[in-house]
Amino acid sequence: MSDSHFKEFFGRLERIDKIHRSGGGFEADGTLGQSHYTRERARRARRAGLRPALLVVLFMVVLKGFLLASQGEEVYRAKLSALRSGSVIEMAGAYVMAQDPISNVIAVWVKPLVD
């Protein structure tokens, strides 16, 4: 091969390396290329806010179930009515801590553990 062919070949290799360093390149259909991994990261970033919110809700429901099981239904209702007659923040707390079917089921499940 002549010298000009070598220069052209190595120039092309240099251009390809430059494109790859900047994150570009050819991706065949059905392969896991760079765009697959960056797209996954974007999906996880959008979904990240939902998981902590669900954990907080789950924690509150389980907490209500344990409180209901340990105090009994009458005492729990009396404390909720006391909260409802308080300030705005206490009324919001009464709304959040109100009994729901899921906390009642959890209270039945953990009642033997609490007694």
pLDDT (tens digit, 0 to 9) for every residue of the chain, 115 residues total?
568 888 888 888 898 888 777 766 666 677 666 666 666 565 666 666 788 889 999 999 999 999 999 999 999 999 999 999 999 999 999 999 999 999 999 999 999 988 7
Q: What pLDDT shows up at residue 95?
A: 93
Of 98, 94, 103, residue with least CA distance to 61: 103
What span, in angstroms and rounded, lies between the C-alpha atoms of 98 and 81? 10
pTM of model > 0.85: no
To 5 degrees, how large is the angle CA 24–CA 29–CA 31? Answer: 70
What is the three-class DSSP state of 115? coil
